[in-house]
Chain A
């Protein structure tokens, strides 16, 4: 087997050195009833050619997003990732290194994380950011737990515009922790009524919200401050912050975001990269790893993992989170892509997304029966169709167009959302794609 360097002669020689009669002697502590003499019932080893063939066959049964006119968003976005990003993250020194616990031989990862943290803080308009979480949804659940620790209050209020997966993950995380999670019903197209009281630890909103609507949360932030509650703002489409006023400018206390849209492929939902940013005063209550600047024995600038007394490997059951492994390499991809884009690139990318989505919305709302629900949006909007959106998605897929996500996939019990279709457009969408979509939708709604 090509991954195993020991030769049969090595094994024999090593067993002699150990003083073991056979390899079985080294497994003598396993209870006899649990020792398996033979092989488990699985296929035997296969060569690179066979494995590649088998997996490629499975992959070929899927419809790759890039092979069709593609308009699905809903928390994961198909952006172009420059070739240099994937090349750099595959450098073995990044790909095959561990968490940088030995800083003298991990300065590459540590400096990249320090740059990543700075980028995330800048983008969200916040003071500090950590070295990443699993994804946006778990970052959001961690934000709720952090607000609970800071305010010592029991209730989290989740906006109906929060991505349903984020809502569900917050509920799962909180169910045994003594935290009360109050979820508001989604009200696409209308402003919801959020009540804050003296038990409220935090209010969690999203911008743009799940239905694509952009909102100014400044007034809500002020109300939260008055009541001693924290405002958590979730962002599922990070590219939006190239064009839209960031949560920090609106007065957010914590930002929990999905960073997939920069540097990372769709990957059928994972791995992604959770972004977590907060105010400096709350840094010791933050979850996850932090890279910090320091000096070495010769006085030269360098980086280490820091404030680890918050973390599980030091604080154990009193840690701010149980997280250990996070999304290091996805964070690196994010950092590289954002370094390539820079200030002008990200702003232009965001404008390009918005312009494409505006043109798409104009074309689709010209199709008889399709109405735009949003007042304003970034690169994703919500259409009200005269038929159930799930049926439209299926009919469009038969015509070779992946036209969006039906709101009913998340809210099957809500009859008033049955005909709502979420549609996204990024810089990868061409004018021809839009033509194809408009034509197909016209046929489906005819």
Chain B
């Protein structure tokens, strides 16, 4: 450790001698809201004067000002550039959020999504002018069918949770077609929150299934809960403990025997892509997150894309629209009649997340069958490497929740922090000061103070080593009794810990002019 970094760690809060006049700290620049930078009448876009015309707004002209600020282009560019600099990103470092698959986002994908023949295409253009777009979607469908081994793929869902809705609605529709929609959905306690929320929208009651001591679904408990009123099991595999459900064939058989469907949350498909086909596991419906496994960027919270692979029994109930091969080329089926009479209907405007389809296909074509298999292998290898570097059983400092090897992510809990006074949250915040995005915290709910780590295949060994050294070092520091240091962290970020309780108690969800006037008066 150099003298400089020692000085910083000795004075976690901003030392007086480095306080600045502006509040800026070198490259960390304070930035007002755009509404506080208003030059009335100013504009960052040059538009021609509207040609002469007689208004046909029918007396419905806007009567009140909108209240938007005026800024020039350089001001806007600087504003958003400064904001961007307050974000951590996968471009800047490892982003080990478990179950989020924060992998590198290739820039070729961005370039392809911006080709005029794709980005500048209207969804309602005549079929003769969009054959290439339909070919692209058809090609993507082929890749996804082949990778899942399933006969149909519904492409319109806009994200993972939307895909779940699609899958569960097709299941309900299929059951209703047999005159028996049933009442219950079984959901393991380790599931993503979207699973029970989705099942509820489909009118189902949720029945939780406990984990067994090995971090998998308790097969005996599952069998005990199965019955003629169970519509489906929603299972994530590999699960959110980072483990492959090794009794999955028995699980599938039991669910099917009870007349239910087997829905799989494919958020963790990255662990098995190219090595395991979900169809071979007895799965009836599975959503894929193109923004996880297939590298489309998360964009600070979206957009995503959540195609759903469906078994033959569910395929007739898929949402509109879909593509068929017709006599004059590719066609779009968008009416609920004929071959589409049993569809659940439309889940979204137009045809789905085309911009994400292009990126995902660009990624898959780049990797190929060989590269995708390597993706799964390297993702699992990297997670296991972190497991042994971090786990107490192998010389690390963290307490692994379920011993043994993992898939693409590894789950630890807070036993290693016992009696230190440091919480999982404190530990994560200290990691931020070290220049890392924390792992997923407090999820899954099945272990205490969870720390779920997913490095993905796009981290180098050096990156993993640096991360592991830091995490182990922080654990040592926690055990040495530096509670105050952890509780104060982070200290080196644009903002220190934010008061989330106050934010929720009296929500301020938008700017109002009086807020800035008040501030100026203070």
Known contacts A23-B380, A397-B129: A111-B31 contact under CB 8 Å: yes
A403-429, CB < 8 A from B: 405, 409, 412, 427
> Is B84 touching A356 in the complex (CB atoms < 8 A)?
no
Q: B147 near A: Cβ within 8 Å?
A: yes
Interface stretch, picked from B41-49, B412-420, B469-477, is: B41-49
> Is A42 touching B369 in the complex (CB atoms < 8 A)?
yes
* 4 closest cross-chain pairs (CB), A and B: A269-B350, A329-B299, A59-B117, A376-B58
Interface residues on chain B, size class: 35 or more
B105-143, CB < 8 A from A: 105-106, 108, 110-126, 128-133, 135-136, 139, 143
Q: A307 near B: Cβ within 8 Å?
A: yes
Interface stretch, picked from B3-11, B219-227, B358-366, is: B358-366
A333-350, CB < 8 A from B: 336, 338-349
Please name 19 further chain A to chain B contacts, defined as beta carbons within 8 Å, in addition to the given A59-B118, A343-B70, A402-B122, sorted by A numbering: A11-B378, A26-B380, A39-B369, A61-B135, A64-B120, A66-B120, A82-B44, A86-B114, A104-B494, A106-B86, A107-B83, A169-B347, A315-B197, A324-B192, A325-B289, A328-B300, A342-B68, A377-B56, A397-B129
- B353 touches which of A36, A98, A271 (Cβ 8 Å): A271
User: Which residues of A are found within 8 Å of B79, using beta-carbon distances?
Assistant: 339
Known contacts A13-B461, A76-B123, A304-B498: A293-B508 contact under CB 8 Å: yes
- B253 → chain A, closest Cβ, in Å? 11
- Inter-chain CA distance A273–B424, complex, in Å, is 35
Known contacts A51-B108, A169-B347: A118-B50 contact under CB 8 Å: no
User: Which residues of A are found within 8 Å of B202, using beta-carbon distances?
Assistant: 176-177
Interface code A17-28, partner B: CB below 8 Å = 1, 0 otherwise?
A: 111100101111
Nearest opposing residue in chain A for B80, CB measure? A88
A6-20, CB < 8 A from B: 6, 10-11, 13-15, 17-20
Q: B398 near A: Cβ within 8 Å?
A: no
- B334 → chain A, closest Cβ, in Å? 8
Interface stretch, picked from B89-97, B254-262, B307-315, is: B89-97
Interface stretch, picked from A121-129, A195-203, A435-443, is: A121-129
> Is B277 touching A108 in the complex (CB atoms < 8 A)?
no
Q: A291 near B: Cβ within 8 Å?
A: yes
Interface stretch, picked from A133-141, A150-158, A221-229, is: A133-141
Q: B196 near A: Cβ within 8 Å?
A: yes
- Inter-chain CA distance A349–B507, complex, in Å, is 33
Known contacts A214-B57, A342-B69: A4-B378 contact under CB 8 Å: yes
- Inter-chain CA distance A74–B291, complex, in Å, is 28
Known contacts A107-B495, A112-B80, A343-B66: A355-B50 contact under CB 8 Å: yes
User: Which residues of B are found within 8 Å of A84, using beta-carbon distances?
Assistant: 44, 73, 76-77
Nearest opposing residue in chain B for A6, CB measure? B378
A46-74, CB < 8 A from B: 46-48, 50-52, 54-67, 70, 72, 74
User: Which residues of A are found within 8 Å of B199, using beta-carbon distances?
Assistant: 317
Nearest opposing residue in chain A for B47, CB measure? A348
B13-27, CB < 8 A from A: 13, 23
- Inter-chain CA distance A100–B493, complex, in Å, is 14
- A423 → chain B, closest Cβ, in Å? 12
Interface code B367-407, partner A: CB below 8 Å = 1, 0 otherwise?
A: 11111111101101110110111000000000000000101
- A270 → chain B, closest Cβ, in Å? 4
- B349 touches which of A14, A115, A135 (Cβ 8 Å): A135
- A132 touches which of B86, B196, B302 (Cβ 8 Å): B302
Nearest opposing residue in chain A for B376, CB measure? A27
- B427 → chain A, closest Cβ, in Å? 13
User: Which residues of A are found within 8 Å of B203, using beta-carbon distances?
Assistant: 176-178
Q: B232 near A: Cβ within 8 Å?
A: no
- B241 → chain A, closest Cβ, in Å? 12
Q: A267 near B: Cβ within 8 Å?
A: yes
> Is A52 touching B65 in the complex (CB atoms < 8 A)?
no
Q: A159 near B: Cβ within 8 Å?
A: no
> Is B356 touching A271 in the complex (CB atoms < 8 A)?
yes
- B498 touches which of A163, A296, A340 (Cβ 8 Å): A296
- Inter-chain CA distance A374–B58, complex, in Å, is 10
Known contacts A44-B368, A95-B89, A325-B302: A267-B354 contact under CB 8 Å: yes
- A277 → chain B, closest Cβ, in Å? 10
User: Which residues of B are found within 8 Å of A134, using beta-carbon distances?
Assistant: 158-159, 162, 302-303, 348
Q: A384 near B: Cβ within 8 Å?
A: no
A295-337, CB < 8 A from B: 295-298, 300, 302-304, 306-309, 311-319, 321-330, 332, 336
- B121 touches which of A3, A62, A137 (Cβ 8 Å): A62
Q: B151 near A: Cβ within 8 Å?
A: no
- Inter-chain CA distance A51–B111, complex, in Å, is 11
- Inter-chain CA distance A270–B358, complex, in Å, is 11
Q: B53 near A: Cβ within 8 Å?
A: yes
- Inter-chain CA distance A29–B118, complex, in Å, is 42
- B85 touches which of A13, A93, A216, A249 (Cβ 8 Å): A93
User: Which residues of A are found within 8 Å of B276, using beta-carbon distances?
Assistant: 27, 30, 34-36
Q: B198 near A: Cβ within 8 Å?
A: yes
- B206 → chain A, closest Cβ, in Å? 5
- A62 touches which of B91, B97, B130, B169 (Cβ 8 Å): B130
- What would be 7 A-B contacts, judged by CB atoms less than 8 Å apart? A3-B367, A40-B277, A88-B80, A107-B83, A118-B510, A214-B57, A307-B507
- B469 → chain A, closest Cβ, in Å? 14
Q: A211 near B: Cβ within 8 Å?
A: no
Of the candidates B124, B490, B493, the one having the most CB atoms from chain A within 10 angstroms of its own CB is B124
Q: A388 near B: Cβ within 8 Å?
A: no
> Is B56 touching A31 in the complex (CB atoms < 8 A)?
no
User: Which residues of A are found within 8 Å of B158, using beta-carbon distances?
Assistant: 134-135, 138, 270-271, 325
User: Which residues of A are found within 8 Å of B348, using beta-carbon distances?
Assistant: 134-135, 137-138, 165, 169, 270
- A4 touches which of B192, B375, B429, B507 (Cβ 8 Å): B375
> Is B366 touching A88 in the complex (CB atoms < 8 A)?
no
- A252 → chain B, closest Cβ, in Å? 14
> Is A58 touching B366 in the complex (CB atoms < 8 A)?
no
User: Which residues of B are found within 8 Å of A121, using beta-carbon distances?
Assistant: 510
Known contacts A26-B381, A271-B355, A307-B504: A328-B365 contact under CB 8 Å: no
- B460 touches which of A6, A249, A345 (Cβ 8 Å): A6
Q: A206 near B: Cβ within 8 Å?
A: no
> Is B57 touching A376 in the complex (CB atoms < 8 A)?
yes
- A55 touches which of B88, B136, B495 (Cβ 8 Å): B136
> Is B300 touching A342 in the complex (CB atoms < 8 A)?
no
Of the candidates B244, B289, B300, B499, the one having the most CB atoms from chain A within 10 angstroms of its own CB is B300
User: Which residues of A are found within 8 Å of B123, using beta-carbon distances?
Assistant: 76, 266, 268-270
- B373 touches which of A39, A111, A352 (Cβ 8 Å): A39
Known contacts A115-B33, A290-B507, A324-B159: A45-B371 contact under CB 8 Å: yes
User: Which residues of A are found within 8 Å of B177, using beta-carbon distances?
Assistant: none
> Is A356 touching B51 in the complex (CB atoms < 8 A)?
yes
Interface code B159-193, partner A: CB below 8 Å = 1, 0 otherwise?
A: 11110110001001000000001000000000011
> Is B300 touching A103 in the complex (CB atoms < 8 A)?
no
- A60 touches which of B23, B117, B301, B380 (Cβ 8 Å): B117
User: Which residues of A are found within 8 Å of B461, using beta-carbon distances?
Assistant: 5-6, 10, 13-14
- A176 touches which of B84, B111, B122, B172 (Cβ 8 Å): B172
User: Which residues of B are found within 8 Å of A409, using beta-carbon distances?
Assistant: 124
Q: B466 near A: Cβ within 8 Å?
A: no
Q: A251 near B: Cβ within 8 Å?
A: no
Q: B81 near A: Cβ within 8 Å?
A: yes
- Inter-chain CA distance A19–B471, complex, in Å, is 21
Nearest opposing residue in chain A for B365, CB measure? A51
Q: A99 near B: Cβ within 8 Å?
A: yes
- B146 touches which of A5, A40, A177, A312 (Cβ 8 Å): A40
Nearest opposing residue in chain A for B442, CB measure? A313
User: Which residues of A are found within 8 Å of B301, using beta-carbon distances?
Assistant: 98-100, 109, 131, 289, 325-326, 328-329
> Is A291 touching B509 in the complex (CB atoms < 8 A)?
yes
Q: A114 near B: Cβ within 8 Å?
A: yes
